């Protein structure tokens, strides 16, 4: 069996910050494997994960809870984009 560093990544160095992350114990193997994918393959992975997320929510949240969560996430995203996108409503639709 290899060293802990080998189990966390390929052993490639991408600079001192990368090496420090591996030495700290951060598993960089997923970053490395995703970097090997084409942009189209990355999008396919993202779509698959989004579908899984939606399936889990459908099984665990009521339709009302999903609607409230979606509204809250939309409001947070609009607020993040800036005041020109924020209509002043809270996550429940109240002004």
Summarised one tens digit per residue, pLDDT across range 41-73 is 999 999 999 999 999 999 999 999 999 999 999
Give yes or no for residue 38 having a pLDDT over 90.
Answer: yes
3-state secondary structure of 24: helix
Domain extent, residue 16, equals 4-61
Q: Is residue 12 part of a domain?
A: yes
Within the chain, residue ranges assigned H as helices are 4-8, 16-24, 29-35, 39-60, 63-81
Q: Is residue 87 part of a domain?
A: no
Q: Is residue 73 part of a domain?
A: no
Res 4: pLDDT:
42
Q: Is residue 54 part of a domain?
A: yes
Domain count, the chain: 1
CA–CA distance, 13 with 54 (Å, rounded to integer): 37
CA–CA distance, 19 with 25 (Å, rounded to integer): 10
Q: Is residue 18 part of a domain?
A: yes
CA–CA distance, 20 with 50 (Å, rounded to integer): 32
What do you get for the CA distance between the two ends of the chain, in Å?
Answer: 60
Q: Is residue 90 part of a domain?
A: no
Q: Is residue 89 part of a domain?
A: no
Q: Is residue 68 part of a domain?
A: no
Question: Whole-model pTM?
Answer: 0.54
Res 1: pLDDT:
38
Give the residue, 26 or 93, on which the prediction is more confident.
26
CA–CA distance, 45 with 34 (Å, rounded to integer): 9
Q: What is the average per-residue pLDDT within 21-28?
A: 92
């Amino acid at each position: 069996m290899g060293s802990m560093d080998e189990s966390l990544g390929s052993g490639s160095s991408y600079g001192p910050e990368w090496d420090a992350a591996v030495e700290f114990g951060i598993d960089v193997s997923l970053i490395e494997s995703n970097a090997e994918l084409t942009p189209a393959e990355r999008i396919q992975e993202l779509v698959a994960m989004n579908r899984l997320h939606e399936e889990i929510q459908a099984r665990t949240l009521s339709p009302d809870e999903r609607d409230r969560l979606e509204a809250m996430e939309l409001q947070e995203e609009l607020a993040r984009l800036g005041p020109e996108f924020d209509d002043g409503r809270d996550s429940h639709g109240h002004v």
